[in-house]
């Protein structure tokens, strides 16, 4: 076969490379933050920070919508708990919803967190007493805040698509722990345990990434036996006995579609028949680590200097802040 001279290949390469490639559009990481009561944002390049709001009324709890195009925040105006305001990323006001005080009794005392559930639905959460938390849903289409969920914990947990929610009731604050009878509810329906059975929930309630399964680990008070409880969208409730003691359990989490337990002996996968298989988490890929580095670098740059309440948005987040959570993607 006839050999092509290297110089000719180089020339051809340079000629073809002179034609511009189709641009690869990569949306930058964006960070929202508060400074002197106003909302700013900054991208992960060296762009200057952009002030999105002004006025005398201090803003709080700014959060990106899931698509990164809108921002919700709260401000204290008039009566009630405050006003939730939606703006676009240029600071234009799009919508406002006044949040009234609780009708009476144990409603939230203040708005303590704000979370986008879907493009038209937002959840606000605040504690009512040391154990009880109220979450109210704001439907932006109906400008309605009627749905209210009380959780004997840090607040209702929503499925990733925002359509379903889980909460615990039956362990009121002014009740000694020995008398408490917590029960898991999904969408206002009790799912576990049966009435009369006293359990303790040992882990957080965790939704699968596709939002089709909710899992939690519970301990039966009378026997000390541990059960992995999974609830599926079709209403199927599955219980798997775990051969562990309560002190062994550290956390329950999903890695992709695999449900895993972090225990004192390492990460385990509960099998269908109740056994526990040792599980090795994959290494964090270099590109993910690089994204984490970049996002943490941005966080480090932003922290301090009067900036607070930082909230990230990125198209493919390796590291994201969310309500009550910090998540390192893998």
Partner 1 sequence: MIEARCSVGITLTAIMLALLPWPLMSAVKPTRLGETGETVVGQAATASRISKAVNRRIFSGTFVAHGQTSFNQCRWAETWIISAVRFDLSRRVANLSGRLVQTPLTAPCAPGNQPIARQFPISVSGTSIRVSSSLGVYHISIIAATSVHRPEAARGVFEGQEASEQLLTGKFVAGLSAPYGGAASGNFELPSLTTISLKRETLTLLSAKGSPAGGRFEYSSLPTTGVNVTAIELAAGIEPTTNPNQANLKSPENPNPNGAPAQGGLALITGRYVREVEANKAFFVATFGLSCYNSADESEWGTPKENCRSVTINGATYTGAVADPYGLKGIYCAAFIAEVSLQGAGVTRDGRKIQYDPSTSLISVVKEIQGADGTPVVVGRTLARDRKVVPRSVLVDIDGVGNSLVANDTGGAIKGYRIDLYKGAGEAVCANFTNSISIASCQPAGDNCPSLTIPE
Which of the residues 244 through 283 are near partner 1 (CB under 8 A)? Answer: 250-251, 253, 262, 264, 281
Candidates 98, 237, 259, 328; binder of partner 1 (CB under 8 A) is 328
Number of residues that bind partner 1 (CB under 8 A): 88
Q: Give me the half-sphere count of Cα atoms (radius 13 Å) on the Cβ side of residue 163.
A: 6
Task: Rank residues 275 and 289 by Cβ distance to partner 1 and give the closer one.
Answer: 289
Cα(308)–Cα(321) distance, integer angstroms: 13
C-alpha closest to that of 88 among 111, 62, 58: 62
Task: Rank residues 20 and 235 by Cβ distance to partner 1 and give the closer one.
Answer: 20
- Are 32 and 310 contacting, i.e. CB atoms less than 8 angstroms apart? yes
Q: In what order do the strands lie in the sheet with 50-51?
A: 50-51, 38-43, 30-35, 307-313
CB atoms within 10 A of CB 124: 26
Task: Rank residues 17 and 48 by Cβ distance to partner 1 and give the closer one.
Answer: 17
Q: Identify the DSSP state of 196.
A: T
Please name the residues in contact with 137: beta carbons below 8 A apart, sequence gap of 6 or more: 117, 121, 122, 123, 145, 147, 148, 149
Candidates 27, 67, 96, 129; binder of partner 1 (CB under 8 A) is 129
Task: Rank residues 164 and 323 by Cβ distance to partner 1 and give the closer one.
Answer: 323
Which of the residues 284 through 313 are near partner 1 (CB under 8 A)? Answer: 286, 289-290, 292-293, 296-297, 299-301, 303, 308
Q: Is 111 in the site for partner 1 (CB under 8 A)?
A: yes
- Are 320 and 329 contacting, i.e. CB atoms less than 8 angstroms apart? yes
Residue 60 CB, nearest approach to partner 1 (Å): 6
Candidates 70, 112, 115, 157; binder of partner 1 (CB under 8 A) is 112
SS3 294: helix
Which of the residues 53 through 82 are near partner 1 (CB under 8 A)? Answer: 58-60, 74-76, 81-82
Residue 304 CB, nearest approach to partner 1 (Å): 9
- Are 168 and 185 contacting, i.e. CB atoms less than 8 angstroms apart? yes
Candidates 2, 5, 21, 223; binder of partner 1 (CB under 8 A) is 21
Which of the residues 225 through 244 are near partner 1 (CB under 8 A)? Answer: none
Task: Rank residues 208 and 321 by Cβ distance to partner 1 and give the closer one.
Answer: 321
C-alpha closest to that of 312 among 25, 27, 24: 27
Residue 273 CB, nearest approach to partner 1 (Å): 26
Which of the residues 144 through 203 are near partner 1 (CB under 8 A)? Answer: 146, 148-150, 152-154, 167, 169-181, 185, 188, 198
């Amino acid at each position: 076969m006839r050999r092509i001279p290297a110089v000719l290949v180089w020339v051809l390469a340079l000629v073809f490379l002179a034609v511009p490639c189709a641009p690869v559009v990569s949306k930058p990481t964006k960070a929202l933050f508060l400074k002197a009561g106003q909302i700013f944002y900054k991208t992960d390049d060296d762009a200057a920070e952009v002030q999105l709001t002004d006025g005398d009324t201090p803003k709080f709890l700014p959060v990106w919508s899931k698509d990164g195009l809108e921002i919700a925040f709260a401000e204290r105006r008039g009566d009630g708990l405050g006003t939730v305001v939606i703006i676009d990323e240029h600071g234009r006001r799009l919508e406002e919803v006044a949040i009234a005080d609780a009708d009476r009794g144990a409603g939230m005392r203040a708005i303590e967190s704000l979370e986008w559930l879907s493009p038209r639905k937002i959840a606000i959460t605040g504690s009512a007493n040391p154990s009880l938390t109220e979450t109210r849903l704001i439907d932006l289409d109906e400008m309605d805040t009627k749905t209210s969920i009380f959780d004997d914990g840090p607040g209702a947990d929503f499925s990733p698509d925002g359509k379903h929610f889980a909460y615990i009731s039956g362990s009121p604050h002014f009740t000694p722990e020995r008398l408490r009878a917590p029960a898991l509810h999904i969408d206002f329906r009790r799912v576990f345990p049966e009435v009369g059975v006293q359990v303790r929930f040992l882990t957080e309630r965790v939704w699968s990434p596709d939002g089709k399964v909710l899992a939690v680990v519970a301990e039966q008070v009378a026997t000390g036996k541990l059960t992995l409880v999974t609830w599926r969208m079709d209403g199927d409730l599955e219980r798997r006995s775990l051969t562990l003691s309560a002190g062994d359990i550290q956390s329950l989490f999903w890695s992709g579609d695999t449900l895993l337990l972090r225990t004192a002996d390492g990460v385990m996968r509960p099998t269908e028949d109740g056994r526990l298989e040792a599980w090795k988490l994959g290494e964090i890929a270099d590109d993910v680590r690089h994204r984490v580095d970049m996002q943490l670098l941005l966080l480090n740059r932003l922290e301090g200097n009067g900036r607070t309440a930082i909230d990230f948005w990125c198209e493919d987040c390796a590291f994201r802040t969310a309500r009550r959570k910090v998540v390192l993607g893998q």
